[in-house]
Amino acid sequence: MTKLSVNINKIATLRNARGGNNPNVVKVALDAERFGAQGITVHPRPDERHIRYQDVIDLAKVVTTEFNIEGYPDQRFMDLIRLVRPAQATLVPDPPQAITSSSGWDTIKHQLLLRDIVAELHESGTRVSIFINPESKYFEPAKNTGTDRVELYTEPYATAYPSNKEEAIRPYVEVALLAKELGLGLNAGHDLDLHNLKFLKESIPFLDEVSIGHALICDALYFGLENTIQMYRRQLEV
């Protein structure tokens, strides 16, 4: 079964726009779980443009599905993970000023750094996933870091999907089979939506988890959050 983890970054974007507490990030997370989300994902960025570090602390107390915290493993991020001990930490190589995530790790260049980070996170009892591009050269070095999973960066797939879905999925199937051979768990995320999700799942049926935020929250403006989460869940029931 492929789990749907709902990324609620953009709920915090809307809340921060007016400076109050509406929408309430904790309430939305609990409602999302009640509506069928099998995980909650947040990405506290250093400038706290959306999810704040305090949000993470508050959410950790109440989330009952899998809590997945994404981010660059600087000291503040590592201290946060050690404090809240989420089910999963997803390491992303984003610089502080990045408008959004735009690449996976160079696990060749950063293998030793990542190996130490993974070991430290394992001490907190947290599963580790490493954000990765669909390039086979990065997968054995990723395995050598000791990470439990990798998360396929799916923006290139989403961009290419409308013009040629068979070509778009090809590198992802190749590296997914390699990950499986290496004994790596497999997540996927970024720019997944109601158009491209089903084909990804059909092509890689052994995906452990997809984390979806931007498109899902946008869809919820039209279909409602409960209906939207159910619509995304149905895309994964192939």
Nearest approach, Cβ of residue 213 and ligand LD2JLWAY (Å): 3
Asked whether 231 and 197 are in contact (CB, 8 A), the reply is no
Asked whether 105 and 125 are in contact (CB, 8 A), the reply is no
Asked whether 188 and 210 are in contact (CB, 8 A), the reply is yes
Length reported for the chain: 238
Among 190, 197, 200, 207, binds ligand LD2JLWAY (CB under 6 A): 190
Annotated binding-site residue numbers = 7, 18, 45, 50, 100, 191, 213-214
Burial (Cβ within 10 Å: 0-12, 13-18, ≥19) of residue 19:
exposed
38 binds, among ligand DXP, ligand LD2JLWAY, none (CB under 5 to 8 A by kind): none
Task: Count the residues of the shown chain that bind ligand LD2JLWAY, applying the rule CB under 6 A.
Answer: 13
Would you call 110 a catalytic residue per the annotation? no
Q: Which is nearer to ligand DXP, 70 or 219 (CB)?
A: 70
Asked whether 44 and 51 are in contact (CB, 8 A), the reply is yes
Position 92 contacts ligand DXP (CB under 6 A): yes
Among 2, 38, 41, 145, binds ligand LD2JLWAY (CB under 6 A): 41
Among 124, 214, 230, 231, binds ligand LD2JLWAY (CB under 6 A): 214
Active site positions, annotated: 43, 70, 190
User: Footprint of ligand LD2JLWAY on this chain (CB under 6 A)?
Assistant: 7, 41, 70, 151, 189-192, 211-215
